[in-house]
């Protein structure tokens, strides 16, 4: 279960609306490498984890991703509040506006709706941790790409914070993989699935 704190993990106070930027940043809300996919990926993968400490890493990083989801939504919200109709039309925001006004809805920058196919929960600890490490890198690249488009420090600071979290999470997933391989037979890490195959059929050698 969860509890909620009524504050952001990192402050977001954007003064200047910018609908063009909002349409790009929304990708980290509901896009292919966004925070919604990140949190759902890690929290869903936990149930097939044979080792408690690795499931713990997934819980804590998955929970932090929910806080990032709220930060990204806040950035998009503050970039689109108080927009004039003229700005909506000029910035290309009208296509989003017609379906959602300025509500927050999970989609990629290109308009593709959020889809669970953007992440995997494979039920295999090595496969899932490799996916998680790749996911952190994909999100990091997306934030790099966003940073090239931003010159407002009010937007830049929280994006820089979110980007660095991807690097830290990559390190933690890498360590979780080390914890995992240390428990497996180094002659053949792939002999069996420790979260699925029983001890008797796993050969134990």
Partner 1 sequence: MQDYSCDDQIAKFPVAMAYVPWQKFDRMYDDLEKAYCYGTVFPELNKPFTGRRCV
Partner 2 sequence: MMGNKEQLLRDIGIVDFVVTELTLYLDTHPHDRNAMEYFNHYNRMKNQMEREFSQKYYPLSTRLEDCGNEWRWGAAPLPWEGACE
**Interaction site with partner 1 (CB under 8 A):** 10, 130, 133, 143-144, 147-148, 151, 157, 160-165, 167-168, 170-171, 173-175, 177-178, 181, 186-187, 189-190
Question: 68 contacts which partner out of partner 1, partner 2, none, CB within 5 to 8 A by kind?
Answer: none
Closest C-alpha to 154, from 13, 8, 11? 13
Q: In whole angstroms, how far apart are CA 12 and each of 25, 28, 38, 116, 149?
A: 14, 15, 21, 28, 18
Q: Is residue 158 within 8 Å of 10, Cβ to Cβ? A: yes
Instruction: Give the shortest CB-201-to-partner 2 separation in angstroms.
Output: 30
157 vs 28: CA distance, rounded Å: 15
- The residue ranges that bind partner 2 (CB under 8 A) are 3-15, 53, 56-57, 60-61, 64, 70, 73-74, 77-78, 168-169, 172, 175-176, 179
Q: Is residue 139 within 8 Å of 28, Cβ to Cβ? A: yes
Q: Which is nearer to partner 2, 118 or 165 (CB)?
A: 165
Q: Which is nearer to partner 2, 3 or 186 (CB)?
A: 3
């Amino acid at each position: 279960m969860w509890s909620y704190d009524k504050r952001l993990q990192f402050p977001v106070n954007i003064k200047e609306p910018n609908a063009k930027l909002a349409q790009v940043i929304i990708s980290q809300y509901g896009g292919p490498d966004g925070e919604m996919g990140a949190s759902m990926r890690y929290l869903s993968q936990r149930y097939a984890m044979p080792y408690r400490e690795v499931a713990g890493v997934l819980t804590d990083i998955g929970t932090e991703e929910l806080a990032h989801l709220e930060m990204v939504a806040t950035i998009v919200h503050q970039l689109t509040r108080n927009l004039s109709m003229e700005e909506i039309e000029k910035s290309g925001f009208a296509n989003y506006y017609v379906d959602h006004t300025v509500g927050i809805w999970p989609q990629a920058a290109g308009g593709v709706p959020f889809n669970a196919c953007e992440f995997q929960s494979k039920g295999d600890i090595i496969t899932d941790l490799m996916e998680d490490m790749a996911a952190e890198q994909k999100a990091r690249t997306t934030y790099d790409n966003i940073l090239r488009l931003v010159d407002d420090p009010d937007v830049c600071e929280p994006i820089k914070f979110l980007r660095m979290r991807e690097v830290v999470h990559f390190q933690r997933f890498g360590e979780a993989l080390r914890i995992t391989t240390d428990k497996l037979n180094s002659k053949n890490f792939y002999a069996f699935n420790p979260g699925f195959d029983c001890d008797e059929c796993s050969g134990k050698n």
